[in-house]
Amino acid sequence: MTLIPLQTKADDSWQQQLRDAIRSPAELAAALGLEPSRLGFSAQADDDFAMKVPRAFVGRMQPGDADDPLLRQVLAGSAENAPHPGYSDDPVGETGAANPVPGIIHKYHGRLLMTVASGCAVNCRYCFRRHFPYGENQLSRREWQDAIAYIRADTSITEVILSGGDPLVARDDTLSALMDALAAVPHVTTLRIHTRLPVVIPDRVTPGLLRAICRPGIATVMVLHSNHPNEVDTTVAAAAGRLREAGVTLLNQSVLLTGVNDSADTLSRLSSALFGAGVLPYYVHLLDRVRGAAHFAVDETRARELVGELAVRCPGYFVPRLVRESSGEGSKRELTPRYPY
């Protein structure tokens, strides 16, 4: 089959790349030079959680490889349809009391999360928020003010985490206004942004974005999300460089996924690629038990062994903390690595 070119034009905006994301299995198969039947696409899984993947990310997949680790993360497959006990729509307890006002998730002391946007640039099949009630957390102007008032009223909150969806799908002027409002709250000293956009669409890191998210007197931390070394190419490294030059502290979190990064070699190469791009490995998460993602799970014992192997192979600053997040707990729980003998 003939490969469809994936390069974007030099003048393409990140918004256009969002609009041009691949959503059909036929288009994805054509881009990778695969017969559609080899993908194992499931219309039922796609109806439950629509497939969406930017072309810049598809361009890092290996043509002709139906088992490519980046492809596995985004393809709506039949394994998602099988029921599994213990997997739910809200695996880490983000609804109910943890969602006190629209747009706010407040589970831990000293910090809370704002759902700035409901959409993402890419729909990862293991996403723990794939069933989150975003419709109940869309922020109107009044609800935006209520969310800021909630933060202002609780002086224990020193860090606000922008999340979603992906907060960077919001426009620069929206992010700038939010940053102004948060910077005006005296007890908020740190803004943390959890995002996959600089990885899947590196062109999102524009001068306008940097102006929007950086303010004197408040630290800006960005936690990127990449799971495999093939995700971290020269365009991602360049975007990370622009962020660092603006004074943004860069960390990375990964999810341990069967068939994607469940080997010490892959994890060590990921840490090396991240460090080369100026990003410090921060967390590697055990899979959150969200309905539709059980086929990605790595056993906790094996996860401990993998991180133990990584610690033997690599310097300490290459080794992310292995954690699990559970509903009702006061923080993520760090799991001690099991070292090989």
Residues placed in the known binding site: 120, 124, 127
- Helix (H), strand (E), coil (C) string for the chain: CCCCCCCCCCCCCHHHHHHCCECCHHHHHHHHCCCHHHCCECHHHHHHCCCCECHHHHCCCCCCCCCCHHHHHHCCEHHHHCCCCCCECCCCCCCHHHCCCCCEEEEECCEEEEECCCCCCCCCCCCCCCCCCHHHCCCCHHHHHHHHHHHHHCCCCCEEEEECCCHHHCCHHHHHHHHHHHHCCCCCCEEEEEECHHHHCHHHCCHHHHHHHCECCEEEEEEEECCCHHHCCHHHHHHHHHHHHCCCEEEEEEECCCCCCCCHHHHHHHHHHHHHCCCEEEEEECCCCECCCHHHCCCHHHHHHHHHHHHHHCCHHHCCEEEECCCCCCCCEECCCCCCC
Provide the annotated binding site for [4Fe-4S] cluster.
Answer: 120, 124, 127
